[in-house]
Amino acid sequence: MRPIAVSFALAAVASWLVGAVSPWLPRGGLPDPALLFAIALGLHLPGVRGAIAAWAVGWQADLLSGSPLGLFSFTCLVAWVAARLGERQLALARPVALVPFTAALTIAQAALLVLLDLGPAADDPRTLPVLVVHVLANAIAVSFVSRLVGATASGADAAEAQRSGLRFDAGAPLR
């Protein structure tokens, strides 16, 4: 449970920071914390705990962005599954594979938003430069977020592993 809470808290801080500095930076110049944390969780937190953490990070992005509820939860789960599958095939622990993978997922997420009529207009000439800048921002930030989630997930797992189960000793047999 601790890795989920730590990931959720880190994603919350990152989302609030991105929202706080967004008025002062060019549009698209900030990374997408929900997508980056979903990818990092896919690399470092397998199983049901990772899926729950990715869903919670996406739900948080839904609440903070004002998008239809469930949209970013769905995209974060898709990114988590893609990262789990990509880790097996592409060795995403290396930045040489992780950066293009993140760029592709960023473009896929933008395409999904355009298809659902929730993103920018595809025929607007300003959309492509903003998307390119956003892809670069995500590609630059993904290695840092992956290392951060890896360090916190492994530290949380180590703390949970130190606990031992309750042992019942029957003692000496009765005669």
In terms of C-beta density within 10 A (0-12 exposed, 13-18 middle, 19 or more buried), how is residue 133 classed? middle
Domain annotation covers residue 72: yes
CB 42 within 8 A of CB 87: yes
Residue 88 corresponds to which amino acid?
Answer: R
Domain annotation covers residue 149: yes
* pTM recorded for the entire structure: 0.83
Which of the pair, 135 or 47, is modelled with greater confidence?
Answer: 135
Helix (H) or strand (E) holding 175: none
What would the pLDDT profile of 133-171 be if each residue is shown by its tens digit? 999 999 999 999 999 988 887 754 444 445 555 555 566
- The CB-side HSE value for 88 (13 A sphere, CA atoms) comes to 6
CB 92 within 8 A of CB 36: no
Domain annotation covers residue 97: yes
Give the whole-angstrom CA distance, residue 6 versus residue 120.
32
Domain annotation covers residue 10: yes
Give the whole-angstrom CA distance, residue 28 versus residue 5.
28
Domain annotation covers residue 92: yes
Domain annotation covers residue 64: yes
Domain annotation covers residue 138: yes
Query: Domain residues for 127?
Result: 2-19+27-159
Number of domains observed in the structure of the chain: 1
CB 34 within 8 A of CB 57: yes
Domain annotation covers residue 82: yes
94-109 average pLDDT score: 92
